[in-house]
Structure 1
Amino acid sequence: MNRRVAAVAVLSVGVLVAGCGNGSSSSTPEFSVGSTPPPAVASIPTDSARIDDAVRQLPDLARKMLQSTGVPGMAIAVVHDGKTVYTGGFGVKDNRRPDSSVDADTVFQIASLSKAVSATVVAGRAGTQGIDWTMPVAAGVDSFTLADPYVSTHVTVADMFSHRSGLPDHAGDDLEVIGYDRAEILRRLRYLPLVPLRTEELYTNFGLTAAAQAVANKAGKDWETLSAETIFGPLGMSSSSMRYADYLSRTNRALLHAKVDGKFAPLAQRDADAQAPAGGVSASVNDLAKWMTMVLDDGKYQGRQIVSSDALLAAMTPQMALPSGRADFRPSATGFGFNISSDPSGRTMLNHSGAFTTGAATNYQIVPGMNLGIVVLTNGAPVGAAEAVAKDFTDLAQYGRLTADWFAQFQQLIDPTNAPEGELVGKKPPANAAAAKPLNTYAGTYANQYFGPLTIKADGTKLTLSIGPKNQTYDLSHFDGDTFTFIPRGETANPGTISQVKFTVTGDTSPSVWVEFFDRNKQGTFTRSAP
């Protein structure tokens, strides 16, 4: 998932901005600076008429959002008091095909909304076969090892689902993008440095995946089957799956659309099988409405207890505070796959965003005190559209008006996460650039324990870099002296990112090479292992 986008769902801003959010109807007065904010008390009564009016405004909110952002398609579902009270689809599944309309049965890749779904899978198995939130990951994954022996044996399912294991931010995502499978990524996590256990929230898809794998192994099933048997089957979520192949098999599916140079286009696919528990679910809003109904009813659906109410409550209980970066933000925290925050009304909000740089952005907002939930799925790279529509709706449902321009607020948080990365972004080779050495000086095989081998080949007048089990290959461009560059691709590479490749040279050979794109966790230096 796009780096740090998941945290934006917990936005609760104390400073209110002028104007109303996108898509407000004429019946909803604008909220401007100087207006009196909603009272910060928990006793504001639920007004069913206000909720009904918010539902009526949803189509207008969605259409205006798509029009203003260019996001190709959107699907929405709302549940209230145990019923699905609204589903709708807007825009298109493929913006090259105007006839490919989205509907409530269109299957989307939901990215990190998968984490909350996976939490309910764990809650559904709690109390059986030794499975619970306090179970050590090592009890389910043989030879599970991290950099610290104590953490290796003591880190729990709860620690991984609340991102407090000590693993670095987005640990393992860089291994996935070059083609390693789940088992190998989990094995290589041992080479990453740790911060002290349970001291800091650092978002990790593969930490959570390790915990889910441990649960599946204890249950004696693969994770994908366990999810289907525990949640998807009992809830009748017939279009939902943790397998990418199942998503590809759906005839009514939304394609991913990346955003490049201000325009959305279906440029790439995203196989998230390696991190399926953290980001690999595909589903329709009709299916997710059933899931939200179960969550709101303490784990019951149509009178049947699907998951343990106690284990579910633990998942929705604050575990680690989320940093806001601003003194005027309302407090927020992570649970086990759920984010928890409070609204000025005093009500608890459960939420999470999901995002693929390659072209998905999703959000749900659940308000337990109102027995209300909304899920918004889109097939465009994250720009804040899904979050803004969901937040506009919960404002209208609670207060009958918008309390902020939510799209602008989310843009402020999301735009920096989409920015190109690399020290040389926007720079050209110097006019007096030093010449490169003969290309055979750099050619050879290099390696480190985390990424494995990296091969540099000299072919005539150019160099190529290849890495990973799928031999992902990049053309290198000379920049200056022994420094080259390439354009990364894949889920961890924002559009416009440029990576340096710096060779050290001793005599007529290069003993090591540093690759900027692979150095996020200080693992970017590779040592020559063969000519």
Structure 2
Amino acid sequence: MARRTLLRGLGAAGVGAALSGTGSAAEAAGPAAVPRAATQATPAASGQITADGVTRALAVLDDIVKKDKAATTVPGIAVAVVYDGVVRYLKGLGERQAGVVGDVDADTVFQLASVSKPLSSTVIAAALTRRLAKVDWNDTLQTFRPGFTLADAWVGQHVTVADMFAHRSGLPDHAGDLLEDLGYNADQIISKLALYPLTRFRDSYAYTNYGLTAGALAFATGTGRSWQDLAREMIFAPLGMSSSSYSFADLQALKNRAALHTLVDGQWKPDLGANNDGQAPAGGANSSVRDLSRWLTMLLAGGSYPGLQTPVVDVPGLQTIWRPSSVTQGPDELGGRASFYGLGWNVGYEDTGELRLGHSGAFGRGASTVITVYPSKKLAIAVLTNADPRGVPEAISAEFVDVVRYGASTRDWLAFFGPLVAEPITADQTKYSKPAVNPTPARSLNAYVGTYPNRVYGDLTVSLRDGALSFTVGPAGKRFALMHYSGDEFYFQTTGENESGFSGALFAAPRTKVLSLTINAWNRDKLGVFTRR
């Protein structure tokens, strides 16, 4: 899910700081690429969020959205702004699916990617407010999933739901995501988390979709409900979020839904088949900006909602999920500003003192989303797009907040975020994009044929067909063509949500027989070595 590491956290505290519009980077840049209407507005000298500032920004929000859409050609964008208890902006622009009749509107349902995480933490906070059962943030996963463990048995015994939502379990960054691409289901992946090396428990931050999913599913089990039913009962039904779900089947049943899109040879290619149920609490939520505006209205009202006699979430429940639980980046890394993660939320503080909450989400297969919330100022904005990450939702949010605070944008935010969210070019991609210098021939291709087991990824089978090598691995039986580079070194094209271009496939033959195969793209945690049977 969401292969771009930076976005998956907003994922990046540095991006979170930038979204404030008041960080040192923004201050240094100066105004750039500002909509005409925004440059004519009267700047707010204090940089504070005020009613006049919100009115000023709302007046030019159409211009901001249209400008960034035109610059990137993303098919569709939907935006909601809530301020002081009222939904002040609720619009869609563009196409739900490129080349198919149907415009984006306020009720178009998008796949939220990692914006699912703050929504999920709100589900748990609401369940605790309702006191559904004897469950709590500090319950261990083993309480409700007795077979669960991690590489360190003591950590596996003590890791809690809160630890998983704060990404402080010690699991490595994005542990388990690659397994999803190979066809492993949620239960299989969660069980395999025990095979990943750990850093110091509760003393390090590493973003894990399947860690958070494991915590959420354990909590739901403690309430006697499925995750989907728990979310519906706690949040979606009370708030009238009738188009929202954590179910791909429910999404497919909707007519007014946005396809994912990637840009291929200059054309937007739609994808209606991205099923993220396996990590639903972390990245499988679906919603419209109308529904999200109801959720944001509730959050900004301290957990209350018009027409409901009792709060959906009590104030202590909100304080718990919004309290910094992990340090995502220290002050030295941000030029003097630290950044934090709560329980499913990125947490930061403005120079002007306000608490800033948010999260970004991204699918390489074609989604990019963001929410930004200022509880003390009762202001929130949600931006959803149906295209692969190009910095559009982050740029719209940042520019909107800039105009609120200063009357004009402090920099060209689209130019700023674009490179940050772009998929980095790996060393393997660079290397294998060019022929080897003075390559040596491979040995007889039959020498590489065989089965290479791996305790995390399972059996990898190399076969020879029509004079060419390929391999299959994982429950989905995906086949990857191997291309020769030099000697015992081959490479292949990675695929799936976590694709990273070319990856090396290095056979090792210490003497005369090939004994192992290392897959570089899967070896970040030293787990990508397959030993021949």
* 1:13-162 matches, cutoff 5 A: 13-15=23-25, 16-18=27-29, 20=31, 22=33, 24-28=35-39, 39=46, 44=48, 46-97=49-100, 99-126=101-128, 127-162=131-166
Q: 2:233 aligns with which of 216, 229, 234?
A: 229
Moved more, 108-117 or 253-262: 253-262
Q: Structure 1 CA distance, aligned partners of 2:517 and 2:161?
A: 37
Q: Structure 2 CA distance, aligned partners of 1:319 and 1:448?
A: 35
Greater helix content = 2
Task: Tell me if structure 1 keeps the 8 A contact 2:34–2:409.
Answer: no
Tell me whether 1:401 sits opposite 2:403 in the alignment. Answer: no
- Which residue matches 2:420? 413
- Which residue matches 1:372? 379
* 2:381 match: secondary structure: strand
Deviation at 1:308, TM superposition (A): 3.3
Task: Tell me if structure 2 keeps the 8 A contact 1:23–1:64.
Answer: no
Task: Tell me if structure 2 keeps the 8 A contact 1:22–1:64.
Answer: no
Task: Tell me if structure 2 keeps the 8 A contact 1:451–1:468.
Answer: yes
- Which residue matches 1:504? 508
Residues 17/100 of structure 1: CA separation in 2 closer, same or farther (3 Å cut): farther
- Which residue matches 1:323? 329
Tell me whether 1:384 sits opposite 2:384 in the alignment. Answer: no
Residues 25/133 of structure 1: CA separation in 2 closer, same or farther (3 Å cut): farther
Q: Structure 2 CA distance, aligned partners of 1:240 and 1:217?
A: 21
| Cα displacement string for residues 22-56 of structure 1 (whole angstroms, at most 9, x for unaligned residues) | 5523343599xxxx99658xxx4x53232122112
Q: Percent identity?
A: 38
Tell me whether 1:470 sits opposite 2:476 in the alignment. Answer: yes
* 1:452 match: secondary structure: coil
Task: Tell me if structure 1 keeps the 8 A contact 2:44–2:407.
Answer: no
The RMSD of aligned alpha carbons is 2.2
Task: Tell me if structure 2 keeps the 8 A contact 1:22–1:61.
Answer: no
Task: Tell me if structure 2 keeps the 8 A contact 1:298–1:313.
Answer: no
Q: 1:359 aligns with which of 366, 372, 376?
A: 366
* 1:441 match: secondary structure: helix
Q: 1:489 aligns with which of 495, 498, 519?
A: 495
* 1:131 match: secondary structure: coil
Q: Structure 2 CA distance, aligned partners of 1:518 and 1:26?
A: 49
* 1:349 match: secondary structure: strand
Deviation at 1:262, TM superposition (A): 6.4
Task: Tell me if structure 2 keeps the 8 A contact 1:21–1:392.
Answer: no
- Which residue matches 2:189? 185
Ranges in structure 2 where 5+ consecutive residues have no aligned partner: none
Q: Structure 2 CA distance, aligned partners of 1:191 and 1:146?
A: 7
Q: 2:456 aligns with which of 450, 463, 468?
A: 450
Task: Tell me if structure 1 keeps the 8 A contact 2:44–2:53.
Answer: no
- Which residue matches 2:294? 290
Tell me whether 1:249 sits opposite 2:256 in the alignment. Answer: no
Amino acid at match of 1:14: S
Q: Structure 2 CA distance, aligned partners of 1:356 and 1:329?
A: 31
Deviation at 1:422, TM superposition (A): 2.2
* 1:56 match: secondary structure: helix
Deviation at 1:489, TM superposition (A): 0.8
* 2:136 match: secondary structure: coil
Amino acid at match of 2:329: P
Give the TM-score, by structure 2 length: 0.92
Deviation at 1:226, TM superposition (A): 1.1
Deviation at 1:440, TM superposition (A): 1.6
Moved more, 305-314 or 61-70: 305-314
Deviation at 1:178, TM superposition (A): 0.7
Task: Tell me if structure 2 keeps the 8 A contact 1:268–1:358.
Answer: no
Give the TM-score, by structure 1 length: 0.92
Residues 19/398 of structure 1: CA separation in 2 closer, same or farther (3 Å cut): closer
Ranges in structure 1 where 5+ consecutive residues have no aligned partner: none
Deviation at 1:406, TM superposition (A): 2.1
Deviation at 1:263, TM superposition (A): 5.6
